[in-house]
Amino acid sequence: MNTSRTLELTPVGEACCTPSAQPALSVEEAADRAVVFKALADPNRLRLLSIVKNAPGGEACVCDLTEPLDLGQSTVSHHLKIMVDAGLLHREKRGTWAYYSLVNGALDGVKDLLDGL
């Protein structure tokens, strides 16, 4: 059995393949999208997003989010801040408590980010 392969070299100055018809994401576009994907890449954040999305009235107090995840309030607040910064959650301060709700269209926006690749 002959397992040798022939290596074909591309002459200098010639492309090795035909470029894609679709332009690649710019560095800035990729960085912006990565913020959202990083925010979603943590299991605790996905659980928090699910709890907030399915909470009565579509919002949840940070005081109600620590027990379901068995995490401290500072850790939960950190995760929530990441999702607020990524544009997934909205934060509203009421007295000493913060309430979180899903940003309108945020999940559709994530789908659009994937469709735009």
pLDDT tens for residues 65-77?
Answer: 999 999 999 999 9
Q: Where are the beta strands (DSSP E) in 1-117?
A: 59-61, 89-94, 97-102
| pLDDT tens by residue, 81-93 | 999 999 999 999 9
* Beta-carbon contacts of residue 48 (< 8 Å; ≥ 6 apart): 65, 69, 76, 79, 80, 83
Burial degree of 113 (CB within 10 A; 0-12, 13-18, 19+): middle
Q: Which pLDDT value is given to residue 71?
A: 93
Q: Which pLDDT value is given to residue 10?
A: 63
Q: Please state which CATH number belongs to domain 28-115.
A: 1.10.10.10
Distance, in Å, from the CA atom of 115 to the CA atom of 117, rounded to the nearest integer, reads 6
Mean pLDDT score, 47-63: 93
